[in-house]
Amino acid sequence: MKSCTFELIVNILTYAIKNQGTAFSQKDFKNVVYTKEFHNLDINAKIADGCEYLLKRGFLQIQNTNLMYYEKYKLPDTISINTENYTKVFKELSKRIILMHEGKEMINDTYEVKDDYADIIDAVDMTNSDFFSQEDAKEMRVTISKILVSLNVETKAHYSLLTILQLLELKSAMKVKIKTKECEFAATNVKFNKLQFNDASIVLHFDKCSFEIDGIEDILYIDSIDTLPLQEHIKKSKNILKSYPEDATREFIAFLDKYAS
């Protein structure tokens, strides 16, 4: 991330949450933001950087249409907000979501976020596009899902919010184990459907069930129902990519090579 501050990112996400279900442009957001608060110099570039960050983290999605001059953004359908409709509540929720994603308890206003996992998100986006055949895309989704759940984060939570958000996009069949302060749950052959943020909890919605958790750290275990080892899936995926144009798959292959032993 270049010039956008943490506080401005929070404000953009807060605006998206307040306008849940409605698309907005960078110009729409600029019309309501207090630009003096963010040093009016280069405010357009800062807003663009903030939107790019939220896009790469899965907190925004682009609503494509040829009828609009400006790109329009909206909160993804995979994220649901169930809190009281107050700006202060939304802003605190935005801070909590971003901090949860970054694996931090607090961030100063000038914190610059690294694009450590941009390649994963690009791979998910490509897999969900029309580039691959249906059968090949299914294999890619399993491979990326296995890569995601193999990643450990340097926090008390075994899985990151990034992992959950991308599993929501992939919708591969998974098995999960969850343990809250009061209950323990398990489910097999379920697909991530939606992530709902409440005032003090999160609800994981699957295609067959849903679980309310206190935080991401309540998720003890996630894995694909496919029993083939990750390395075998990586080999299969790389072989599939050989049948597609090299210039279009080069970065995808490089992404898979990072996780090949």
Q: pLDDT at position 107, please? A: 57
Whether residue 246 lies inside any domain: the answer is no
139 shares its domain with 89: no
Alpha-carbon distance of 235 to 239, in angstroms, equals 6
11 shares its domain with 77: yes
> What are the tokens at 103?
């694996």
127 shares its domain with 81: no
Q: pLDDT at position 146, please? A: 93
Is the separation of the CB atoms in 226 and 142 below 8 Å? Answer: yes
Whether residue 204 lies inside any domain: the answer is yes
Alpha-carbon distance of 163 to 152, in angstroms, equals 10
- Which of 192, 209, 224 is where one domain is finished? 224
Is the separation of the CB atoms in 179 and 218 below 8 Å? Answer: yes
132 shares its domain with 78: no
Whether residue 235 lies inside any domain: the answer is no
190 shares its domain with 137: yes
95 shares its domain with 68: yes
Whether residue 250 lies inside any domain: the answer is no
Whether residue 114 lies inside any domain: the answer is no
125 shares its domain with 37: no
Tally of domains within the chain:
2
Whether residue 49 lies inside any domain: the answer is yes
3-state secondary structure of 6: helix
Whether residue 237 lies inside any domain: the answer is no
Indicate the pairing of strand 210-213 with strand 192-198.
unpaired
Longest Cα pair distance anywhere in the chain, in angstroms?
A: 55
Domain range for 48 is: 6-102
DSSP state of 42: T
Of 206, 240, 242, the closest CA to residue 225 belongs to 206
220 shares its domain with 124: yes
98 shares its domain with 140: no
- Which of 54, 77, 102 is where one domain is finished? 102
pLDDT in tens, the chain (261 residues): 445 677 888 889 989 988 888 899 998 888 887 666 666 667 888 888 888 888 877 888 887 655 555 688 998 888 888 877 666 667 777 777 777 766 665 555 555 555 566 788 889 989 988 999 999 999 999 999 999 888 765 455 677 777 888 888 898 899 999 998 888 989 999 999 998 988 788 899 999 899 999 888 899 889 899 999 999 999 999 999 999 999 999 999 999 999 987
Packing angle, helices 134-150 and 230-241, rounded to 10: 140
Alpha-carbon distance of 148 to 185, in angstroms, equals 21
> What are the tokens at 155?
């926090």
Q: pLDDT at position 188, please? A: 93
Alpha-carbon distance of 150 to 258, in angstroms, equals 13
Is the separation of the CB atoms in 171 and 225 below 8 Å? Answer: no
81 shares its domain with 134: no
Whether residue 247 lies inside any domain: the answer is no
Q: pLDDT at position 1, please? A: 43
Alpha-carbon distance of 226 to 15, in angstroms, equals 39
Q: pLDDT at position 34, please? A: 67
39 shares its domain with 94: yes
Number of neighbouring beta carbons within 10 Å of residue 16: 26
**Residue positions counted in the chain:** 261
CATH number at residue 66: 1.10.10.10
Element (H, E) at 119: helix 118-128
95 shares its domain with 155: no
Give 177-234 as a DSSP string. Answer: EEE-SS-EEEEEEE-EEEEEEESS-EEEEESS-EEEESSGGGEEEEEES--S-HHHHH
> What are the tokens at 31?
């019309």
Packing angle, helices 43-56 and 6-18, rounded to 10: 70
